[in-house]
């Protein structure tokens, strides 16, 4: 029997008078990859930030494996691994020292050979003595994902994990995300890439103006909305996930 | 170039406990000490600047022209004060603002480390840097200027350095809390130097009048200099020294309160 890795109920987050997240509810099953899609400013990162504990929700509840994030922040943080949209580490530290620091923060003591092994697995063994800023974009993303999973968390939160990567690096990262799922972990990711959502995610939610508009499998979303007039109006031939996305969220540019 | 290897299968034993505070502190302190030791700017501020001032204060031109007056202990105390003010305002506060802009704090905050441990670790490293600076300066004062202290005075001085570090670091924390941008903080920090440190240099001089002398004596820098020069000469410890200890503690509480109340972890 599989349980829920994450339960978000009626989550609301406000920045002053502006409501960024407006009654979002999400359930993520164990071993599931769940994608959160939305235009800029839709509330994806705010939702993730509330789950990560970076933002205090106005109301609502967040349970990670039945652990209340607000009541037990330390334990909740131990149950998640996080890759932020843009990551930076102390420029004076070598990447092996960064891995050691973050492993230590989760109470995972790693020896030098163990750190080297982990870096080698993501093809950064030769870069162990370099600084984070000296790595390429793809290498930085791989290291960030390694650090997010250094304590083998049951739930991994990835905020636009492949943005700015070339196709090769993106495919490599997808393989790694898939590998994390295969080991029984759950993943919640945000993305702007419909291709990524279709290739990687088991289920997808499209959100806009702080609300979830629809949730289903990528194929299920297309099936559900293929006859929607707004979707048909933007479709160029066979209806795709991107057509559904634009049909539901509109064509106007978002800042 | 070869493809990355297959994904490592994690052990199926997710951590179902929050790590102990000792584990968190060990990891943070080790990283923060490494950062401090590799930071050339911090090393320069910690050691070179106070040594230069120490030399200048004892140089014959300064003594002959009466620019700086006071006993040898006061001059050593002034150099120590400069070191601590530099470490806290130009070093610590700037690093905090820079790391905040880079998102380093936000990355740390999504780990199980409570937010207070992140800042406490950094502050402890700064206090250690201040103590190391004090040791180097006292040795230099003994070797090159003949200012040697009795054992009790060394102990009191190091205790005084801890109190004084708390004062300047709380000022640094307040500045980092009130000023978000690292660039702006750099400018504000340099300006803040005048009332915080330079004013105190005239704490034992009445060349600008007694009112100015009173203000400079009880400015943060002047308070620390009074405290440290008293600690270096225990036989002259008097009510003024006790008052300096109380005032420095009060400054620490006020500035730390400002720093905690208005501090923001994110740059946005």
pLDDT tens for residues B82-120? 889 888 888 899 999 999 999 999 999 999 999 999 999
**Does B172 reside within a domain?**
yes
**Does B12 reside within a domain?**
no
- What range does the domain containing B163 cover? 21-262
**Does B156 reside within a domain?**
yes
Nearest to A101 by CA among B117, B88, B267, B98: B117
Look up the pTM and report it: 0.87
pLDDT band at B255 (very low <50, low <70, confident <90, very high): very high
pLDDT band at B64 (very low <50, low <70, confident <90, very high): low
Residues in chain B closer than 8 A to A118 (CB atoms): 8
Nearest CB to A78; choose among B18, B109, B114: B18
Asked whether residue B1 carries a pLDDT value surpassing 70, the answer given is no
Average pLDDT over residues B129-137: 92
Provide the shortest C-alpha distance from residue B199 to chain A (in Å): 34
Q: Write down the mean pLDDT value for chain A.
A: 92
Residues in chain B closer than 8 A to A79 (CB atoms): 14-16
CB within 8 Å: A53 and B109: yes
CB within 8 Å: B20 and A86: no
CA distances in angstroms from B18 to A108, A144, A150, A232, B30, listed in the order given? 11, 21, 15, 50, 20
**Does B257 reside within a domain?**
yes
Average pLDDT over residues A241-249: 91
CB within 8 Å: B7 and A82: no
Nearest to B131 by CA among B157, B151, B96, B153: B157
Q: What is the ipTM of this complex?
A: 0.90
CB within 8 Å: B111 and A183: no
Residues in chain B closer than 8 A to A106 (CB atoms): 15, 19, 111-112
CB within 8 Å: B11 and A172: no
**Does B47 reside within a domain?**
yes
**Does B3 reside within a domain?**
no
Provide the shortest C-alpha distance from residue A164 to chain B (in Å): 18
Nearest CB to A74; choose among B2, B39, B112: B112
Nearest C-alpha in B relative to A104: B27
Q: What is the pLDDT of residue B205?
A: 64
Residues in chain A closer than 8 A to B38 (CB atoms): 92
Q: Count of A–B CB contacts within 8 Å?
A: 142
Number of domains in chain B: 1
Burial (CB < 10 A; 0-12, 13-18, 19+), residue B190, is exposed
**Does B152 reside within a domain?**
yes
- Asked if A121 and A87 touch (Cβ cutoff 8 Å), the reply is no
pLDDT band at A159 (very low <50, low <70, confident <90, very high): very high
**Does B16 reside within a domain?**
no
Nearest CB to A78; choose among B17, B35, B106: B17
**Residue partners of B210: CB distance under 8 A and separation at least 6:** none
């Amino acid at each position: 029997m599989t349980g829920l890795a994450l339960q978000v109920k009626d989550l609301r987050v406000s920045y002053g008078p502006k409501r960024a997240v407006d009654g979002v509810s999400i359930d993520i099953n164990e071993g599931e990859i769940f994608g959160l899609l939305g235009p800029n400013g839709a509330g994806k990162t705010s939702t993730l930030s509330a789950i990560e504990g970076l933002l205090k929700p106005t109301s609502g509840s967040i349970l990670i494996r039945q652990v209340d994030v607000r009541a037990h922040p330390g334990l909740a943080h131990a149950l998640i691994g996080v890759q932020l949209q843009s990551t930076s580490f102390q420029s004076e530290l070598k990447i092996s020292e960064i891995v050691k620091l973050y492993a230590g923060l989760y109470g995972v003591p790693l020896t030098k050979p163990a750190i080297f092994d982990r870096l080698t697995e993501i093809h950064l063994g030769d870069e162990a003595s370099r600084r984070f800023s000296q790595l390429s974009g793809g290498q930085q993303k791989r290291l960030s994902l390694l650090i997010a999973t250094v304590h083998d968390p049951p739930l991994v939160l990835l905020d636009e994990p492949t943005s700015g990567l070339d196709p090769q690096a993106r495919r490599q990262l997808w393989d790694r995300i898939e590998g994390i799922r295969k080991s029984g972990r759950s993943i919640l990711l945000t993305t702007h890439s419909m291709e990524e959502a279709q290739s990687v995610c088991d289920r997808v939610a499209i959100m806009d103006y702080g609300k979830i508009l629809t949730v289903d499998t990528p194929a299920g979303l297309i099936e559900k909305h293929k006859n929607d007039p707004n979707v048909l109006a933007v479709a160029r031939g066979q209806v795709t996930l991107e057509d559904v996305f634009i049909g539901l969220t509109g064509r106007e540019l978002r800042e | 170039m070869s493809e990355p290897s297959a994904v490592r299968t994690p052990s199926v034993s997710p951590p179902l406990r929050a790590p102990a505070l000792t584990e968190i502190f060990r990891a943070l302190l080790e990283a923060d000490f490494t950062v401090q030791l590799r930071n050339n700017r911090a090393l320069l501020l910690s050691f070179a600047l106070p040594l230069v001032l120490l030399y200048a204060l004892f140089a014959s031109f300064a003594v002959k022209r009466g620019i700086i007056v006071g006993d040898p202990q006061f001059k050593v105390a002034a150099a120590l004060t400069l070191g601590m003010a530099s470490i806290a305002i130009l070093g610590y506060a700037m690093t905090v603002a820079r790391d905040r802009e880079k998102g380093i704090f936000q990355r740390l905050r999504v780990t199980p480390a409570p937010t207070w441990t992140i800042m406490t670790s950094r502050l402890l490293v700064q206090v250690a840097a201040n103590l190391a600076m004090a040791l180097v300066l006292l040795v230099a004062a003994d070797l090159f200027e003949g200012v040697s202290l009795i054992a009790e005075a060394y102990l009191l001085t190091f205790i005084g350095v801890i109190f004084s570090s708390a004062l300047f670091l709380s000022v640094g924390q307040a500045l980092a809390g009130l000023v978000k941008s690292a660039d702006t903080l750099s400018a504000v920090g340099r300006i803040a130097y005048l009332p915080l440190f330079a004013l105190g240099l005239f704490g034992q001089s009445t060349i600008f009048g007694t009112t100015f002398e009173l203000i400079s004596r009880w400015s943060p820098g002047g308070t620390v200099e009074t405290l440290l020069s008293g600690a270096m000469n225990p036989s002259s410890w008097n009510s003024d020294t006790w008052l300096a200890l109380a005032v420095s503690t009060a400054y620490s509480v006020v500035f730390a309160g400002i720093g905690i109340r208005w501090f923001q972890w994110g740059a946005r």
